[in-house]
Amino acid sequence: MEQLNTIVKRLDTLFQVQESGPDSAFSRFVPTVYDAIEFDWKSFFETGFVTYFNGLMIRGAEQVERVHLAVFPTDNVLERFISEANRGDLLFMHHPILMECGDPHGEWGRGFVPVKEEYLIAIKEKELSVYTCHHPLDLNETISTSKAIVKVLNGRIVDSFCYEGDKAFGLICDIEDTTTEALIQQLESTFAVPYVDVEGKVHGYINRIAVIAGCGDKVSWMKEAEGKGAQAYVTGEIHCHIDNDYGRKRYAEMDAYIQETSMSLIGVSHSASEYIVKKNEMNTWFQQQFDVGTNLIPQEKWWL
């Protein structure tokens, strides 16, 4: 068992939650989705979260027995957490709200979606806690979403791209010699996805790749990585499959770029690309840092 405040303080310190300021993404999207349904999120969530949009989101009982790790707050993830958790348990996620990115082999997504009120109430009634960490986890010097992918692919970081200030979301790394087809098979196995989204050129020799977890589907980022010698680009999303004008515009921009790029472009799904850091890095970190158990909660469906 561990004190919740001890865990929160160490997480805040590791990821520099306060020093990082408000999350550049969720400081926009959390208010947007909850204001639209007239949910009083400012009163419901913890003061620090309402300020920074990272950190302790919901406070439960003080004694933590287990930390549960997930990426998106899907219905299934939250149902499992509420069902499997004991009073005081903590859920550590990457996103505070669901993101439906769409399925390249199925339906397009709705974009950002609020957590259902029934789940939020059930979490509070059972005295459970929720802590989310988005860009501070993406950009951390020690543990990050993209570094975890490089590590699992046995890559050696040689450069970076896609910056926020002086910190990079994307990494350029050298890997053992491979091919586009072999890399596809490796990624499907590593991320446990039924298929990947593939565009661009097919190469018989690859030894340098670009890695960026999550939504790496911006042409400017891809061009930057290509200019730094990447032969393949590994990310969560190659195409934006969000069913609105923004998504269709981004899809068209990517379609045009695909005709000119020299890279193999491979998407493993947004959520699966960000689960590796929870499964490998954060799972181990919690076990080493605290007297708690851990429980991994993968999504039933990675492409959604």
In a domain, 304, yes or no: no
CATH number of the domain bearing residue 282: 3.40.1390.30
Q: How many domains does the chain contain in total?
A: 2
In a domain, 230, yes or no: yes
In a domain, 60, yes or no: yes
Distance of alpha carbon 215 from alpha carbon 267, whole angstroms: 9
> 97 with 156, same domain?
no
In a domain, 69, yes or no: yes
Q: Which helix (H) or strand (E) holds 93?
A: strand 90-93
Residue 299, pLDDT score: 97
| Confidence category of residue 289, pLDDT binned at 50, 70, 90 | very high
In a domain, 35, yes or no: yes
In a domain, 303, yes or no: no
> 127 with 176, same domain?
no
Nearest of 291, 148, 124 to residue 211 by alpha carbon? 148
Edge-to-edge order in the sheet of strand 167-178: 156-164, 167-178, 206-212, 232-235, 264-267, 197-200
In a domain, 302, yes or no: no
- pLDDT tens digit sequence for 150-160: 999 999 999 99
> 194 with 180, same domain?
yes
Distance of alpha carbon 56 from alpha carbon 44, whole angstroms: 12
- pLDDT tens digit sequence for 191-240: 999 999 999 999 999 999 999 999 999 999 999 999 999 999 999 999 99
Percent of the chain having pLDDT more than 90?
Answer: 100
Residue 170, pLDDT score: 98
In a domain, 301, yes or no: no
> 12 with 130, same domain?
yes
Which residues are within 8 A (CB) of 247 and not within 5 positions of it... i.e. 6 or more apart?
102, 108, 111, 240, 241
Average pLDDT, the chain: 97
- pLDDT tens digit sequence for 29-85: 999 999 999 999 999 999 999 999 999 999 999 999 999 999 999 999 999 999 999
Q: Is-contact 262 233, C-beta < 8 A?
A: no
Q: SS3 breakdown of the chain: % helix, strand, coil, rounded to 5? A: 40, 25, 35
> 101 with 14, same domain?
yes
> 166 with 45, same domain?
no
Residue 40 is labelled as binding a ligand: no
**Can you give the length of the chain in residues?**
304
Q: Is 141 exposed, middle or buried (0-12, 13-18, 19+ CB in 10 A)?
A: exposed
Q: pTM (2 decimals)?
A: 0.96
The gap from C-alpha 22 to its chain's centroid, in whole angstroms, comes to: 17
> 12 with 57, same domain?
yes
| Degrees to nearest 5, angle at CA 276 with 173 and 131 | 125
Residue 135 is labelled as binding a ligand: no
> 130 with 160, same domain?
no
| Confidence category of residue 264, pLDDT binned at 50, 70, 90 | very high
As a whole number of Å, the CA-based R_g of the chain is 19
> 125 with 34, same domain?
yes
Residue 237, pLDDT score: 95
For residues 274-289, give the mean pLDDT.
98
SS3 call for 151: helix
Residue 69, pLDDT score: 98
Residue 242, pLDDT score: 94
Distance of alpha carbon 255 from alpha carbon 72, whole angstroms: 27
Residue 94 is labelled as binding a ligand: yes
> 54 with 124, same domain?
yes
> 128 with 181, same domain?
no
> 160 with 189, same domain?
yes
Residue 46, pLDDT score: 98
Residue 95 is labelled as binding a ligand: yes
Q: Which domain holds residue 58?
A: 2-138+275-296
